[in-house]
A and B are shown apart, each in its own frame.
Chain A
Amino acid sequence: MTGASPRLTRRLQLSGLLVGLGLAVEALTMAWSHPTAFLAFLLVGGTLVGLGVLVYLYAIVSN
């Protein structure tokens, strides 16, 4: 095993950061009963998770 390339490592870490943040926002908003929570879930959490997944897919395709 030679280890992942630095570029792949960076992209996986960026993806992990985005997805992790997105999931954290989603989990926090689940505990709050308010229309703003729904919007934050979708617009902030969903966008971060979506971006993170795209970065991950790009990382594995371009590697």
Chain B
Amino acid sequence: MPYLTAGFVAVVLVTIALIALVALRPSLVEARGGRVLAFLALCVLPLLMTALGVSAQVEHSKSTEFCLSCHVMEPYGKSLHVDDSSWVPAQHYQNNRVPRGEACFTCHTNYTLFGDFKAKLRGLRHVYVNYIGTIPKEIKLYDPYNNRECLHCHAGARSFEESDLHKEVRAELAKNATSCLECHDTIHNVHGLAGVKIWKEGKP
């Protein structure tokens, strides 16, 4: 991302310099070359940069840093660092079972930008509530957690498929008739964070 941002800013600066040239020397557009320059500076490059920027912003919104940038999400970020392997998100995060840089998105693939139109509207509402509205004391998922989020990694994995307990409910899990969270029920547990031991993430 830093390289992308630096590249984006560099091209923006070049574009602004070209725009300044056209705006300060409008007589340039009388010549064919000047018209091409103005078309590039005032139309092609700005639209191209905006399209690339949207793509980069969407990609960046998958990052854990992005999700945890709102104050209300801080306890959820903290729950990834609990030093107890019975906490499902912490166990996945700390053992690289989900990429740490995209930990939230890996298990919540249908949120805000990546969900349907309704999810995108909810994302806008989240921003509004964060600044102007009243943040609810307890944050809940809009819909029951979908087993798809677990099965997109675990389905087909030997440890999952050969487990006798999983074999019994395999069809129900696939249909979401039984939730994975019925058994694996220590999730973010943000109300239980006080006093728990926190794992210090070291640098590799």
Q: B56 — which chain A residues lie within 8 A by C-beta?
A: 30
- Take A12-B38, A33-B65, A52-B46 as given contacts and tell me if A26 and B12 are in contact as well, using a CB distance cutoff of 8 Å: yes
A3 to B113, CA, bound (A): 48
Q: Is the CB of B42 within 8 A of A33?
A: no
Contact with B along A1-21 (1 / 0, CB 8 A): 111100011001101110110
A13 to B127, CA, bound (A): 35
A26 to B53, CA, bound (A): 7
A53 to B45, CA, bound (A): 10
Q: A60 — which chain B residues lie within 8 A by C-beta?
A: 35, 38
- Take A35-B69, A35-B126 as given contacts and tell me if A26 and B50 are in contact as well, using a CB distance cutoff of 8 Å: yes
Nearest-Cβ distance from residue B200 to partner chain A, whole angstroms: 23
Q: How many residues of A contact B (CB 8 A)?
A: 39
Q: B23 — which chain A residues lie within 8 A by C-beta?
A: 12-13, 15-17
Nearest-Cβ distance from residue A3 to partner chain B, whole angstroms: 4
- Take A1-B27, A30-B8 as given contacts and tell me if A16 and B70 are in contact as well, using a CB distance cutoff of 8 Å: no
- Take A12-B23, A24-B16, A57-B43 as given contacts and tell me if A39 and B30 are in contact as well, using a CB distance cutoff of 8 Å: no
Residue picked from A17, A24, A30, A56, most chain B C-beta under 10 Å? A30
Q: Is the CB of B49 within 8 A of A38?
A: no
Q: Is the CB of A16 within 8 A of B49?
A: no
Interface size class of B (residues with CB under 8 A): 35 or more
Q: B16 — which chain A residues lie within 8 A by C-beta?
A: 20, 23-24
Q: Which of A34-51 contact B (CB under 8 A)?
A: 34-39, 41-42, 45-46, 49-50
B19 at interface, CB cutoff 8 A: yes
Nearest-Cβ distance from residue A7 to partner chain B, whole angstroms: 11
B110 at interface, CB cutoff 8 A: no
Q: A13 — which chain B residues lie within 8 A by C-beta?
A: 23, 26
Q: Which of B1-50 contact A (CB under 8 A)?
A: 4-5, 8-9, 12-13, 15-16, 19-20, 22-23, 26-27, 29-31, 35, 38, 41-43, 46-47, 49-50
Nearest-Cβ distance from residue A60 to partner chain B, whole angstroms: 8
B199 at interface, CB cutoff 8 A: no
* Closest chain B residue to A30, Cβ basis: B5
Q: A22 is contacted by which of B4, B8, B46, B61 (Cβ under 8 Å)?
A: B46
A-B contact pairs, 14 of them (CB 8 A): A2-B30, A17-B23, A19-B15, A20-B16, A23-B16, A24-B12, A24-B16, A26-B12, A26-B53, A27-B8, A27-B9, A30-B57, A38-B113, A49-B47
